[in-house]
């Protein structure tokens, strides 16, 4: 089902090389089409959004923007077990993100007040996929951090929201819903239309059209990143439970034919036992053809000779989820670089992180965990630097600033400083401004 490669072999080097080079999805195949959609929505607004929703989703939303929705009623209509799961998840996600609050700061240094002000973004767009499957979990995982940050308007963009989505939107504090999916929804959020004011930032996962549209509008609006197919890197030693490791690998493989599922282990016997588990477990899944395709094309087991090498390989691969099936997960985690989500110990399924542990499941993929972080409250704030000079401080720094400016050939910069200094001197120290 998946090949096993031992460190030192050519096959191991090739497999690791392919993983390290995997990068973000190649969006080139759809870029031209998406560019047309984005430009049309930018130029024509609602009319173009309706046109593309009719073309790709075969329906006409009415209304396109839902300003008030009865999320509480939708929640009440859900089957009680699902309702309880959503409420538990929302509560846990909120409490986790409350730890991420970032305070600004101010201090004074020799007559110069410096600081940083942190304010929430005013208006954000949260995309929740709605093509092949529905993800109320993604609504919670994207919108709750925004709500905790204090964002005033949270627009959920999703095609034809059902009760599960409306209930999640209600629990997450979504303020309005754009009933559209795909590139047209992203363009409407980025540029605004008659019925929808533009947003400051767009977050959340989606398919290749959504990802490409986010990339194209970036700069006119902020984005969280480009989410590619799901990934899991399971790290295991010889004490790991092969059936549990196999179950974790399959739990991400079932997302997408292109998901990356990788086992890195210090034990050849464990690798063989995991591979033996995969077939029967896969056969029992409803999405067996998706998970099977992912395993066949992008799955592999890499066998290394030490925990140090395990950490090195995990750092190189930089997976979205890294699950630690080893005797001392904390010690190994300490040696692995990068962001993403770490699931520590055999009793921590990746699925717990996907649904309700607390941290957002919107994570860097395609190796972006080398530098990227989970979606968080910090994604929904804007920072302003604060600088305030007193007169003595400017008299002290002024000559240095002017010298620096002239060295860059920027006279006007120098004069803006010198004017203040000379005016102050002319007025005998009684100049305007701060003493």
Ligand X SMILES: N[C@H](CO)Cc1c[nH]c[nH+]1
Q: Is 131 in the site for ligand NAD (CB under 6 A)?
A: yes
Q: Closest CB to ligand X among 170 and 287? A: 287
Whole-number Cα distances in Å, 158 to 42, 81, 179, 272, 386: 19, 24, 6, 42, 38
Single residue of 166, 190, 196, 210 touching ligand NAD by CB under 6 A: 210
Single residue of 136, 181, 329, 346 touching ligand NAD by CB under 6 A: 181
Long-range contacts of 330-333 (CB under 8 A, 24+ apart): 332/235, 332/307
CB 185 within 8 A of CB 127: yes
Single residue of 19, 48, 90, 138 touching ligand X by CB under 6 A: 138
Single residue of 255, 298, 321, 325 touching ligand NAD by CB under 6 A: 255
Cis preceding-peptide flag for 5 (omega within 30 of 0): no
Calculate helix-pair angle for 28-44, 46-57, nearest 10 degrees.
140
- Token couple for 420: 């203040």
- Token couple for 396: 């002290």
| Listed ranges 28-36, 133-141, 300-308, 417-425: which one lies at the site for ligand X (CB under 6 A) | 133-141
Q: Is 354 in the site for ligand X (CB under 6 A)?
A: yes
Q: Is 361 a catalytic residue?
A: no
Q: Is 45 in the site for ligand NAD (CB under 6 A)?
A: no
Q: Closest CB to ligand X among 253 and 303? A: 253
- Total residues contacting ligand X by CB under 6 A comes to 9
Phi, psi of 224 (to 5 degrees): -85, -25
- Total residues contacting ligand NAD by CB under 6 A comes to 25
CB 37 within 8 A of CB 52: yes
Q: Is 374 in the site for ligand NAD (CB under 6 A)?
A: no
Shortest distance (Å) from residue 230 CB to ligand X: 4
CB 240 within 8 A of CB 265: yes
Q: Is 230 in the site for ligand X (CB under 6 A)?
A: yes
CB 77 within 8 A of CB 163: yes
Q: Is 227 in the site for ligand NAD (CB under 6 A)?
A: yes
Residues 163-202 that bind ligand X (CB under 6 A): none
Choose from ligand NAD, ligand X, Zn ion, none: what does 133 bind? Cβ within 5-8 Å by kind: ligand NAD
| Of the candidates 236, 246, 230, 240, the residue with the CA atom closest to the CA atom of residue 2 | 246
Phi, psi of 261 (to 5 degrees): -125, 115
Shortest distance (Å) from residue 227 CB to ligand X: 8
| Of the candidates 348, 356, 302, 303, the residue with the CA atom closest to the CA atom of residue 329 | 348
| Of the candidates 138, 158, 187, the residue with the CA atom closest to the CA atom of residue 61 | 158
DSSP code for 180: -
Q: Is 389 in the site for ligand X (CB under 6 A)?
A: no
Choose from ligand NAD, ligand X, Zn ion, none: what does 383 bind? Cβ within 5-8 Å by kind: none
Q: 8-34 burial, b for 16+ CB within 10 Å, e for fewer?
A: eeeebeebbeebeebebbebeebeeeb
| Listed ranges 112-120, 131-139, 182-190, 310-318: which one lies at the site for ligand X (CB under 6 A) | 131-139
As a residue count, the chain comes to: 435
Single residue of 52, 96, 127, 135 touching ligand X by CB under 6 A: 135
Q: Closest CB to Zn ion among 57 and 231? A: 231
Rounded CA separation 29/208 (Å): 9
Rounded CA separation 74/83 (Å): 10
The catalytic residue among 170, 320, 325, 424 is 320
Q: Closest CB to ligand X among 134 and 420? A: 134
Say which residue the tokens 């991400």 belong to: 252
Q: Mapped to the 3 state alphabet, what secondary structure does 292-304 carry? A: HHHHHHHEEEEEC
Q: Is 170 a catalytic residue?
A: no
Shortest distance (Å) from residue 187 CB to ligand X: 24
Q: Closest CB to ligand X among 205 and 329? A: 205
Q: Is 380 in the site for ligand NAD (CB under 6 A)?
A: no
The catalytic residue among 5, 97, 170, 321 is 321
3-state secondary structure of 62: coil
Q: Closest CB to ligand X among 12 and 260? A: 260
Q: Give the sheet arrangement for strand 112-120, strand by strand.
A: 105-109, 112-120, 381-389
- Token couple for 293: 């395709």
Choose from ligand NAD, ligand X, Zn ion, none: what does 210 bind? Cβ within 5-8 Å by kind: ligand NAD
Residues 291-330 that bind ligand X (CB under 6 A): 320
List residues binding ligand NAD (CB under 6 A).
33, 56-57, 129-133, 135, 138, 159, 181-183, 205-207, 209-210, 227, 230, 255-256, 361-362
Question: Which positions touch ligand X (CB under 6 A)?
Answer: 135, 137-138, 230, 252, 255, 320, 354, 361
Active site residues: 320-321
């Amino acid at each position: 089902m998946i090949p096993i490669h031992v460190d030192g072999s050519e096959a191991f080097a090739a497999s690791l090389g392919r993983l390290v080079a995997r990068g973000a999805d190649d969006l080139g195949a759809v870029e031209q089409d998406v560019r047309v959609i984005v430009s049309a929505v930018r130029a024509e607004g609602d009319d173009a959004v309706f046109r593309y929703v009719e073309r790709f989703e075969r329906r006409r939303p009415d209304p396109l923007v839902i300003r008030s929705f009865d999320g509480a009623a939708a929640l009440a209509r859900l089957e009680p077990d699902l309702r309880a799961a959503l409420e538990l998840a929302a509560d846990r996600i909120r409490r986790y993100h409350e730890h991420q609050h970032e305070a600004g700061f101010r201090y004074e240094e020799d007559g110069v007040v410096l600081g940083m002000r942190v304010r929430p973004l005013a208006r954000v767009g949260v995309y929740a996929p709605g093509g092949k499957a529905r993800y109320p979990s993604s609504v919670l995982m994207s919108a709750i951090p925004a709500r905790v940050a204090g964002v005033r308007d949270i627009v959920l963009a999703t095609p034809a929201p059902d009760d599960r989505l409306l209930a999640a939107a209600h629990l997450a504090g979504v303020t309005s819903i754009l009933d559209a999916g795909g590139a047209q929804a992203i363009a409407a959020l980025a540029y605004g239309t008659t019925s929808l004011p533009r947003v400051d930032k767009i977050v959340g996962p989606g398919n290749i059209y959504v990802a490409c549209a986010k990339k194209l509008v970036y700069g006119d609006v902020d984005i969280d990143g480009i989410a590619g197919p799901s990934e899991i890197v399971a790290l295991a030693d010889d004490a790991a439970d092969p059936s549990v490791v196999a179950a974790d690998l399959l739990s991400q493989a079932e997302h997408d034919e292109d998901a990356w599922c990788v086992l890195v282990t210090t034990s050849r016997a464990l690798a063989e036992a995991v591979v033996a588990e995969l077939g029967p477990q896969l056969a029992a899944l409803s999405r067996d053809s998706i998970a099977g395709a992912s395993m066949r094309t992008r799955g592999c087991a890499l066998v290394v000779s030490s925990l140090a090498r395990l950490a090195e390989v995990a750092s190189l691969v930089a997976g979205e989820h890294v699950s630690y099936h080893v005797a001392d997960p904390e010690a190994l985690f300490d040696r692995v670089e990068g962001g993403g989500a770490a699931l520590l110990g055999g009793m921590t399924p990746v699925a717990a992180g996907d649904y309700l542990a607390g941290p957002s499941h919107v994570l860097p993929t395609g190796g972006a965990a080398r530098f990227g972080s989970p979606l968080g409250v910090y994604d929904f704030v804007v920072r302003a630097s604060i600088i305030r000079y007193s007169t003595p401080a400017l008299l002290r720094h002024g000559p240095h600033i002017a010298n620096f400016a002239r060295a860059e050939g920027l006279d006007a910069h120098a004069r803006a400083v010198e004017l203040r200094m000379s005016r102050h001197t002319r007025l005998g120290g009684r100049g305007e401004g701060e003493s």
